[in-house]
Amino acid sequence: MTRQEFSQMLAIASENAIVKINDCLPHIFKLSKHKIDVLLTGSESFNMTDCFHFIQACDFTMEFEWEYCTELSDLRAAIKKTRQDYKMSRRDLSIKSGVHTNVISAFEDGSCTLKIDSLLRITDALNATITIE
């Protein structure tokens, strides 16, 4: 999956979003117009923290390989679980995905976020699927 294909999933889901304004405001205020445009077009790399603000604002759920993710911590756990299910070390995943071991470790441990391009490389390396509903 490319960044643009991921963004297209966000855009399609956002067209059908029905949310209460009070529920979405805390999340949407964390995003600028530019960040929203980037999220919906994939014209630039974006941070998964911003992506989850948008997902929460629209009351979406991301599914990563059968695990429902409404927060970044859910995605961390899903990636770690999938990696462990395949009996892959962080180093193995790093070699297969091209994402540095330190980035994978820091993300799984909760000390950093991911850029969309790194997430998609990890997803491909794990033969995982991502959907947004």
The total domain count for the chain is 2
CB atoms within 10 A of CB 118: 19
Which domain covers residue 99, as residue numbers?
64-128
**123 and 71 together in one domain:** yes
Which pair of structure tokens corresponds to residue 63? 């599914």
DSSP state of 62: E
pLDDT in 10s for each residue of the chain, 133 residues:
888 998 988 888 877 777 665 666 667 778 888 998 899 899 999 999 999 988 888 888 899 988 899 899 999 999 999 999 999 999 999 999 999 999 999 999 999 999 999 999 999 999 999 999 8
Model pTM score: 0.85
Residue finishing a domain among 60, 82, 109: 60
Domain harbouring 102, CATH code: 1.10.260.40
Do 91 and 124 share a domain, yes or no?
yes
The number of C-alpha atoms within 13 Å of 54 and in the hemisphere containing its C-beta is 26
Last residue of a domain, one of 60, 89, 106: 60
Residues 71, 46 share a domain: no
